[in-house]
Amino acid sequence: MNYPSGKPHIGDQEKKYVMEVLDSGVLALGPFIKRFEVEFAKKVGTKYAVSVSSGTAGLHIATMCAGLKPGDEVITTPFSFIASSNCILYVGAKPIFVDVDPVTYNIDPKEIEKHITKKTKAILVVHIFGQSADMKAIMKIAKKYKLKIIEDACESLMAENYGKNVGTFGESAVFAFYPNKQMTTGEGGMLVTDNKKIYELACSLRNQGRDFNPQWLDHKILGYNFRMDEMSAAVGLAQVEKIDWLISERQKLAALYDKHFAKYSDRIQLPLTGPGNNHTWFVYAILFKNKKVKRDEVINKLAKIGISTKPYLPSIHLFKFYKDLGWKKGDFPISERTSNSSLALPFYIGLKEEDVKQIVEKVVELA
Ligand SMILES: *Cc1c(COP(=O)(O)O)cnc(C)c1O
């Protein structure tokens, strides 16, 4: 067996577009960037999209655009990929973690309100694993306390909450295109917004602080080089053109896992979907019901027979440099329990029912 944990789906159109770029000789700041941004914004349903070099770069720009600064507090989730909290530290603000909901593993709105202080400026919401956080409740809190919302939608492209796309709730939202995500550009990301000022500032920050309508060497503010290149944008354009198909294939695959795990519900906790949500499946992560099963041993045993699985995700507050800021084991029990026991299975387009069946059998043997 040889099942990686994930891999991208690259078709002929991606290759055709990339060859167009290479043949044109315009490898940066060219037409594919614009085409990709226009199509992406259309798909998500925002006025503007700004391509960037990674999801992390997009989140960094989002916290700068929100005007966050030292002394500000930002409420967020510990159950995420580390970039969603690091981007708060990048601008000198303080992440304030609160625990997550045990069904979706997204930030628990009931915990948010307890942690709002005079210093709270924003909520950085992460839509984890492919489904939306409880945005009805979160938007209500944001309105009541006049807090900004930034969405980390890196794992949940095309996910909806009561029919509204993730990425359209906050003042800005960020998507990521690393090869294990729902769509890829290699490395890459996208900031989306409906706010013209944020759009223009984001364009400037990613491009060395140049003016929005740049005179080539006119740098107005301290910026960065967070630009996406044309080859990546070419891949991204082909991917976004087929995003509905990419998502529906992932949904079919999740349904196959559900089907083959169904008779083992005494041993395996399947992923659950929260109210009002669809699921676009960044990962398919299960839990073992038997507390004696050691997840990390299962990962090693499966790796030996060619099945790659991942311990998604470690709780951010327990990484050393976050512990140094004052957090400790036991602070967020639901996040920590999930971190210690959840197992993400091989998940990519191309897995057939036979493969799923085989993987399920091997996992269940160890449960
Ligand atoms: C993938 C991901 C990011 C961004 O990752 P990059 O590798 O920088 O593109 C940010 N937040 C979450 C939750 C992610 O899963």
Task: Express each pLDDT in 58-92 by its tens digit.
Answer: 999 999 999 999 999 999 999 999 999 999 999 99
Whether ligand 1 lies within 6 angstroms of the CB of 133 is answered as no
Whether pLDDT at 215 is above 70: no
* Contact 312 CB / ligand 1 (< 6 Å): no
Answer yes or no: is the C-beta of 155 below 6 A from any ligand 1 atom.
Answer: yes
Residues 21 and 106 occupy one common structural domain? yes
CATH number, residue 292: 3.90.1150.10
How much distance in Å is there from the Cα of 262 to the middle of ligand 1?
Answer: 31
- Residue located nearest, by CA, to atom 9 of ligand 1: 55
Number of other CB atoms surrounding residue 321 within 10 Å:
9
308 plus 173 within the same structural domain? no
Give pLDDT tens digits for 129-140: 999 999 999 999
| Predicted local confidence at residue 219, as pLDDT | 86
Residue 296: give the domain boundaries: 244-365
Instruction: Give the CA radius of gyration of the chain.
Output: 21
The structure tokens listed for 99 are 């625990």
104 lines ligand 1 (CB under 6 A): no
What is the arithmetic mean of pLDDT over 164-178? 98
Q: Is residue 27 part of a domain?
A: yes
- Mean pLDDT of all residues in the chain? 97
> Would you state the pLDDT for residue 208?
94
Q: Which residue has 């991606």 as its token pair?
A: 14
**pTM (two decimals):** 0.97
User: 62 with 207, same domain?
Assistant: yes
- Pairing between β-strand 73-76 and β-strand 94-97 as defined by DSSP bridges: parallel
In CATH, what number is assigned to the domain containing residue 161? 3.40.640.10
Residues 207 and 250 both lie in one domain: no
Do 248 and 235 share a structural domain? no
DSSP assignment of 256-310? HHHHHHGGGTTTEE-----TTB----S--EEEESSTT--HHHHHHHHHHTTB--B
Does a structural domain hold residue 206?
Answer: yes
> Residue 220 — pLDDT band, cuts 50, 70, 90?
confident
pLDDT at 178 > cutoff 70:
yes
Strands 120-126 and 148-152: parallel
pLDDT for the residue 218: 79
74/21 same-domain check: yes
- Return the structure tokens found at 212: 């929005």
Beta carbon of 166 within 6 Å of any ligand 1 atom: no
CB count in 10 Å sphere of residue 23: 8
The ligand 1 atom at the shortest distance from the C-alpha of residue 57 is 8
Residues 332 and 274 in one domain: yes
Domain annotation covers residue 121: yes
Q: Is 72 in the pocket of ligand 1 (CB under 6 A)?
A: no
* Ligand 1 atom having least distance to the Cα of 181: 1
Residue nearest to atom 2 of ligand 1 (CA): 154
pLDDT value at position 214?
59
Are residue 155 and residue 261 in the same domain, yes or no? no
Q: Are residues 128 and 206 located together in one domain of the fold?
A: yes
Q: Which residues contact 171 (CB under 8 A, 6 or more apart)?
A: 65, 66, 148, 149, 150, 193, 195, 198
Boundary (domain end) residue, out of 220, 242, 264: 242
Compute the distance from residue 298 Cα to the ligand 1 centre, in Å: 26
Q: Where are the alpha helices (DSSP H) in the chain?
A: 12-24, 31-44, 55-65, 83-90, 109-112, 135-145, 196-206, 230-241, 243-261, 295-304, 320-323, 333-341, 353-365
Residue 211 binned pLDDT confidence (cut-offs 50, 70, 90): confident
318 lines ligand 1 (CB under 6 A): no
